[in-house]
Amino acid sequence: MFFNSRQKPEFSDEEKLNQLQDKFELARNQSRGLGIITTVIAVVMSLYQLWSAGVSMLPQPQHKAIHLAFGLLLTFLVFPASRKDKGKFPWYDALFALFSIAGGAYLVFFYWDLVYRAGSPIPLDIAMGIITLVLVFEASRRTMGWPLVIVGLLALSYALFGKYLPGSWGHRGYSIERIVEHLFLTGEGIYGVAIYVSASFVFIFILLGSFLGVTGGAQSFIDLAFSLTGKSRGGPAKAAVVASGFMGMISGSSFANVAGTGTFTIPLMKSVGYKREFAGGVEAAASAGGQIMPPIMGAAAFIMAEMTGIPYGRLILHAAIPAILYYVAVYIMVDLEAAKMGLAGIPKEKLPKFLTTMKNGAFLLFAPFSIVFMLLLGFTPIKASFYAVAVVIVVSMFKKETRLNSSRFVEALDKGARGALSIISACAVAGVIVGIVTLTGLGLKFADLIITLSGGMLFPALLLTMVACIFMGMGMPTTALYIILGAMVAPVLVKLGVPVVAAHLFIFYFGCFAAVTPPVALSSYLAATIAKADPTKTALVGLKLASTAFLMPFIFAYSPALILLDTAILETLVVVVTAVVGVYALSCSLQGFLLRPIGMPVRMVLLIAAIASIIPGWMTDVGGMSTILIVVLVHIMYKPKAQTI
């Protein structure tokens, strides 16, 4: 194995890293007894989810109730209310845990009673709904912090007091009973689309990542990346791009991706000569892109499939070209930086051999990609995810080092359940917000506001949407942000002529890349801590490396050929070739380097030509490609000795 994932990171301020991570995951120091209880519950939850996905699922309302009850129960066992409770288990956490069980049991055992009295809830229904709302908000606060909770509380306040607002922003008013009934007893609140997708698809994919980690498949991603790219110039940075892309599409979290892979890719980048800020920026940009990379694309992609009605198998095809172009751009900029600095790769003898890597465990990587094969065969995403987990379990038996014994199997089930807790609570709170939007008509009011501010023009509307995504994404997970803005803003873009899939991908992209957008670029700040670099400079480097991601959504909003909508095979090939050339020119412009350093005038020409080449259309393609060709030819023929062009 090239690099041991348990090896201590090569940086001195490890305590600072741990403190930064603690801001987002404050796990309780459990006693032995509580730890055993928590593990048993987590294992039972994972087994229940596997049974539901692969064998038989209860009716949706009951299945969602059990899923959320498990999630809330584990959250109050694992996460303390504050740091002062980290070493103990106070009485109110025990009470919260019991209420979590009671809320789920109430919906399961009284399911038919609730159906028969739909629209006429009894006081006990309302009381259980209020308790569940409190539990959901508190669980989200413990796992994700305050931002999403604040948005949720503002939404509730609007439902309660919006009748006092003047003009079109007011509504007719709703009682507490009506609000709680809508959020708790219908499929448009807590138990809406978001929690359904979490219960049906997302949990199993998180479990897939857990099994890959326990069997060594996650480490195999990294070893494979180094075996393919490590010996080229600036090899560790290229390996970080590839490995973080692989890991990010499974983890669904750029922050977790930086913490997982950055602790050894960043020190290796520094060791071959990359500046600290650049090393951190590479890891942040590469990790953020994992969520847009098929075939998995993190949790939000499954919710997108449900919200748009587009089959998941087709959705990942629409997302493929922009995602690949993004990683091509980051890879090229890493290569150009290495060329500017004259950096070499890692000596061949110090790298893992490709065939050895495949033999030792990279065969486990076939499991995630088997999902695509099964989707093409017509399997549902639920079945495809279940069989992917089964593939990991089966192929892990091929070698002793990867084989799942009983302890590893329990560990994978335990980690999978714990790893899903933040997603479950975020989906529940997002469901509350979307429920308020549908109850009060707030989405239509927000849509009218965007249309008014943009003057009914598409480009200003896209800019406003981008700003909203980045602003809300500063403190909110991508999944929750997408659910909220997908319900409120996507219809506006569709109304202005953007295809449905392009509108939703637009929101999804900017939600993902809020993590590398200053002033609150959380992934970049974590990477800077690992690299012992200046956080602001690291964030700016990460933003530059991720710049292609800020261009792509505008292009496919105007020209959906880039996402394979209404296009023929030949047109698709032309779009791909011209876009790749455009991405290369864009990278050269941003890095100020072609075959040698280039000056600002040429960089500006390349920038304009690059954008023209990436935008589909024969006029822009001819103009952009011709300009790039001329610049390259002049650059080859004209070789000044003491100046740059």
Over 80: is that where the pLDDT of 470 sits? yes
Give pLDDT tens digits for 511-521. Answer: 888 878 887 67
Q: What is the CA radius of gyration of the chain?
A: 25
Over 60: is that where the pLDDT of 644 sits? no
Taking residues 476-480, what's their average pLDDT?
76
Confidence of residue 260 (pLDDT cuts 50, 70, 90): low
Strand partners, 593: 597
Distance from the Cα of residue 380 to its chain's centroid: 21
**Measured between alpha carbons, how far is 72 from 103 in angstroms, rounded to an integer?**
10
Q: How many residues does this entry show for the chain?
A: 645
- Sign, CA torsion 46/52/54/55: positive
- Give the rounded percent of residues in the chain with a pLDDT score beyond 70: 91
Write down the pTM of the prediction.
0.79
Confidence of residue 2 (pLDDT cuts 50, 70, 90): very low
DSSP annotation of 353 reads P
Looking at residue 12, its pLDDT comes to 41
Over 50: is that where the pLDDT of 81 sits? yes
Looking at residue 643, its pLDDT comes to 45
Looking at residue 363, its pLDDT comes to 63
Residue pair 549/509 in contact (Cβ under 8 Å)? The answer is yes
**Measured between alpha carbons, how far is 516 from 526 in angstroms, rounded to an integer?**
11
Four-CA torsion 149, 154, 157, 161, nearest 10 degrees = 180
Looking at residue 645, its pLDDT comes to 40
Looking at residue 16, its pLDDT comes to 47
Mean pLDDT value across the chain: 84
Closest CA to 440 of 185, 165, 196: 165
Residue whose tokens read 């995602």: 323
Q: Between 445 and 140, where is the model more confident?
A: 140
Looking at residue 157, its pLDDT comes to 94
**Measured between alpha carbons, how far is 104 from 64 in angstroms, rounded to an integer?**
9
**Measured between alpha carbons, how far is 256 from 73 in angstroms, rounded to an integer?**
23
Looking at residue 148, its pLDDT comes to 87
Give pLDDT tens digits for 88-98. Answer: 899 999 999 99
Two tokens at 223? Answer: 């070893």
Confidence of residue 7 (pLDDT cuts 50, 70, 90): very low
The count of other CB atoms within 10 Å of the CB of residue 116 is 8
Give pLDDT tens digits for 177-213. Answer: 999 999 999 988 999 988 998 898 789 888 888 888 8
Confidence of residue 13 (pLDDT cuts 50, 70, 90): very low
Closest CA to 528 of 252, 234, 258: 258
Confidence of residue 3 (pLDDT cuts 50, 70, 90): very low
Closest CA to 245 of 346, 352, 362, 328: 328
Looking at residue 425, its pLDDT comes to 92
Give pLDDT tens digits for 561-611. Answer: 888 887 777 877 888 888 889 888 998 998 888 888 888 888 999 999 988
Over 50: is that where the pLDDT of 1 sits? no
- State residue 593 phi and psi, 5-degree precision: -150, 130
Over 80: is that where the pLDDT of 394 sits? yes
Looking at residue 251, its pLDDT comes to 60
Residue pair 148/475 in contact (Cβ under 8 Å)? The answer is yes
Q: Is 95 exposed, middle or buried (0-12, 13-18, 19+ CB in 10 A)?
A: exposed
Give pLDDT tens digits for 292-339. Answer: 888 777 667 778 888 888 888 888 888 888 988 899 889 899 889 888
- State residue 63 phi and psi, 5-degree precision: -60, -45
Sequence-distant (≥ 6) Cβ neighbours of residue 583 within 8 angstroms: 325, 328, 329, 332, 548, 610, 614
Taking residues 497-508, what's their average pLDDT?
93
DSSP annotation of 468 reads H
Confidence of residue 6 (pLDDT cuts 50, 70, 90): very low
Looking at residue 132, its pLDDT comes to 97
Taking residues 518-535, what's their average pLDDT?
81
Where along the chain do its domains lie?
A: 197-418, 567-645
Sequence-distant (≥ 6) Cβ neighbours of residue 624 within 8 angstroms: 578, 581, 582, 585, 609, 610, 611, 612, 613, 614, 615
Residue pair 259/393 in contact (Cβ under 8 Å)? The answer is no
How would you label 349-375 residue by residue, b for 16+ Cβ within 10 Å and e otherwise? Answer: eebbeeeebbebbbbbbebbebbbebb
Q: Between 361 and 268, where is the model more confident?
A: 268
- Give the rounded percent of residues in the chain with a pLDDT score beyond 90: 28
Looking at residue 23, its pLDDT comes to 46
Looking at residue 559, its pLDDT comes to 81
Over 70: is that where the pLDDT of 24 sits? no
Closest CA to 442 of 162, 180, 178, 193: 162
Among 251-255, 313-317, 354-358, 527-531, whose mean pLDDT is lowest?
251-255
Confidence of residue 83 (pLDDT cuts 50, 70, 90): confident
Q: Between 430 and 242, where is the model more confident?
A: 430
Looking at residue 299, its pLDDT comes to 66
Two tokens at 596? Answer: 């040698």
Residue pair 321/579 in contact (Cβ under 8 Å)? The answer is yes
Confidence of residue 407 (pLDDT cuts 50, 70, 90): very high
Taking residues 21-29, what's their average pLDDT?
61
Two tokens at 70? Answer: 């498990």
Confidence of residue 121 (pLDDT cuts 50, 70, 90): very high
